[in-house]
Amino acid sequence: MDIASEINRLLLENNISMDSNIDFEVNGELHSMSFNTITESYMQASDESQLVFYMALQKSLSAGEKGVENFFEGMGKLLLMAHFSDKLKI
């Protein structure tokens, strides 16, 4: 199973665009990520992580559009935290 294709199929079936954006404010600066960008980032992870992402997305779909939005917001926050922690010098 190609998980990225399955994710695209699930979102299409539920009329959710991969081009949808989530906006994040970090230190007064606005960062925007599309569902596609978030998905592509997680598809670079291990097979197990990809499967967890896919299964969590499936579960979020049962909560409707708001559930999917919350899912991508949470996944995007994790990406931003990882990005900013990589730049943090201690």
* Residuewise pLDDT in 10s, the chain (90 residues): 799 999 999 999 999 999 999 998 888 889 899 999 999 999 999 999 999 999 999 999 999 889 999 999 999 999 988 877 766 554
Task: Sketch the domain layout of the chain as residue ranges.
Answer: 3-15+35-87
- CA–CA dist 71, 66 (Å, integer): 8
pLDDT for position 69:
92
